[in-house]
Amino acid sequence: MRTPAPSCPKYRSSGRFLKGLPLSGRCLGNLPRKKSAKRTNTTVRAALAERPPKLERKSAEDGKVPYNWQTEWYPVYITEQMPKDRPMAFTLFDTPLVLFYDGTGKLSCVEDRCPHRAAKLSEGQIIDGKLECLYHGWQFEGDGSCSKIPQLTDGAAIPRAACVRTYTVRDRQGVVWVWMGKESEADESKLPYWNDLDMEGFRVDSHIHDLPYDSGILLENLMDPAHIPISHDKTDPNGRREDAQALWFDVTERTDRGFAGGFGMTKPRADGTVPGFTGRFVAPCVFNSRREWVDKKGNKVVSLALILCPPTGQGKSRLIIRFGSTLKMPPIPKFFIHSIGCKVFEQDMGLLSSQNELLVKANQGVKDLYLPLKSSDGWVIEYRKWLDKVGHGMPYYTGYSTFSPPRAPAVVDQAPVGSVAAIAANNPAFGSLGAQYALDPTNRYIRHVVHCKDCRKSLKTAQTLRSAALVLAAISGLAGIAAAQKSARIWGAAGAGACLLVAWGAAKVAELLTTNFVRDHRKL
């Protein structure tokens, strides 16, 4: 009987779920308020009253501060979307990792590389809670130790070096977080926590999008409320071109780990409101905006947008976005809501991809590339200046005045076989050579649907319904043609027409989940 080797002492890590965490380090975004100076418009005064007070700065604005990107928690997935029966690959700063549920039902994270011949473990399968490399059948436990090597001679012990590096995992408030440093240094106080998510009656919708540009570009975009009325006119609920205007930004807190404050409009929107928000950015990649108000019935209403942007690698990023509110939402199918989110990101995609390309080629900070406005780009510049302080502790970054390029160029997988393999390795879904599954970071299916159980189910249902409706339409039509009585022919034609209408509707649903939005002036 073969004797399993102990796990690598250097890389041992825990995959236990988080319980009873301390509340220190909570990222609440619930800042106190103070009333602003009088303005002529009472609605404006109400909005400005939501501005938080000036807080004492806890670190200098200029100069570098100690920072290590590895001693951070990174959000990598939504817990309820994690596949139970197969591994899920991802990267952080181009470091290949893989998540899976081990034999005890706990989430484990290991390096996505088999120690035997460097094949991707995420190309493998889960057998009895063990991650099996499908190249030669080596199997690994959640603690990184190897428990089976089919090619060993009888009685031979599994080599001690036959293990994979593990990373500490936590499941908190529905999000999977991974600590990139040593387990002994895992700092629970750095895990964000939002009280609003535990509020009674608070409803949350979460979804994932993989995007073809750096996380810095993505965070900058999502911290920019000024672009919404223009870029997302009549798409985003807050997007109306006529509402484009000067905004106010107050940075009320700066620390080595981020910044916080308030922002809002200076003039009423078309609907007569002048909303104000609080916002907070916390290292390494978390931003949230929050609004609280009292409705016409005197009830307190809270809305929260959590934006989690793990830096997956050069020219790519992942967005885990969570929208929550105490408002009762209308019964709209999730696939439709998510398709609107996909459309929003597609409206920005060409802009942000080209911006990413320019910044990579420029090899400098954004100071001489941007012409920022205080009434438009407050959070953007604050974020870039934060990178000036801590970027030296990252693999690469572009700050406001400084920058550091990647040490190694990005790897672009262009080989057909490699492309198919990358789909299976980097997404919790099986790929093929079909257009729907083509490895294209701009493809709506690859960006979002593979990460969403609701959208995958809706797509499968729509495709099945379309096929069935077409078959029934053909049968009904043929039956009508063959019928001797006029009434039967009419009913046959009507049935065929109804089935074709159902098939058309199902095709439109499938199109929402697989077809990108293109602006009219960009269509050929």
pLDDT, the chain, mean? 84
DSSP category for residue 125: E
Choosing from 135, 157, 185, the residue where a domain stops is 185
Q: What is the pLDDT of residue 422?
A: 46
Q: In CATH, what number is assigned to the domain containing residue 128?
A: 2.102.10.10
Asked, for residue 224, whether it belongs to a domain, the answer is yes
Predicted local confidence at residue 412, as pLDDT: 54
**Rg for the chain (alpha carbons), in Å?**
26
Domain that holds residue 478: 452-522
Q: Give residue-wise pLDDT tens across range 397-424.
A: 999 999 999 988 776 544 334 444 444 4
What DSSP designation does 438 have?
-
Same-domain check for residues 97 and 181: yes
Residues 306 and 161 grouped into a single domain: no
In the block, residue with structure tokens 């922002």? 263
- State residue 42's pLDDT score: 39
Do 62 and 132 fall within a single domain? no
Backbone torsions φ then ψ of 349, nearest 5 degrees: -60, -45
First to last CA, the chain: 67
Q: Are residues 344 and 293 in the same domain?
A: yes
pLDDT mean over 142-156: 95
Distance CA 133, CA 253 (A): 48
Is 271 found in the same domain as 162? no
DSSP-assigned letter for residue 322 = E
Distance CA 510, CA 69 (A): 40
Q: Are residues 126 and 211 in the same domain?
A: no
Q: Quick one: pLDDT at residue 471? A: 96
Per-residue confidence (pLDDT) for residue 439, from 0 to 100: 55
How does residue 14 score in pLDDT terms, banded at 50, 70 and 90? very low
If asked whether residues 253 and 386 sit together in one domain, one would say: yes
474 falls within a domain:
yes
What proportion of the chain, given as a percentage, has pLDDT over 90?
69
Query: Model confidence over 341-366: pLDDT tens digits?
Result: 999 999 999 899 999 999 999 999 99
Predicted pLDDT at 238: 73
CA angle 97, 101, 102 (to 5 degrees): 105
**What does pTM read for this prediction?**
0.83
Same-domain pairing of 268 and 353: yes
Considering the domain boundaries, does residue 197 fall inside one? Answer: no
Tell me: do 168 and 97 sit in the same domain. Answer: yes
Indicate the number of domains in the chain: 3
Q: Closest Cα to residue 496, out of 519, 514, 480?
A: 480
Would you say residue 476 has pLDDT above 50? yes
Do both 233 and 292 map to the same domain?
yes
pLDDT for the residue 294: 87
Residue 507, pLDDT > 80, answer: yes
3-state secondary structure of 92: strand
The answer, yes or no, to whether residue 56 has pLDDT greater than 90, is no
Is 80 exceeded by the pLDDT of residue 158? yes
> And the tokens for 409?
């160029």
| 352 in any annotated domain | yes
Reported as a single tens digit per residue, the pLDDT across 83-129 is 999 999 999 999 999 999 999 999 999 999 999 999 999 999 999 99
DSSP conformation letters of 44-66: HHHHHTTPPPP----S-SSS---
- Tell whether 497 is covered by a domain: yes
Give Cβ neighbours of residue 84 (< 8 Å, ≥ 6 apart). 101
In a domain, 266, yes or no: yes
Domain end (from 344, 379, 404): 404
**pLDDT band, residue 271 (cuts 50/70/90):** confident
Shared domain check, 341 and 278: yes
pLDDT in tens, 17-55: 233 333 233 333 333 333 333 333 333 334 334 444 443
Mean pLDDT of 7-16: 40
Percent of the chain with pLDDT over 70: 82
The reply to whether 27 falls in a domain is no
pLDDT reported for residue 298: 85
Position 8 confidence tier, pLDDT thresholds 50, 70, 90: low
Whether residue 32 lies inside any domain: the answer is: no
Q: Are residues 175 and 268 in the same domain?
A: no
Q: Identify the DSSP state of 316.
A: B
Instruction: Give the pLDDT band of residue 478 (cuts 50, 70, 90).
Output: very high
pLDDT at residue number 395: 96
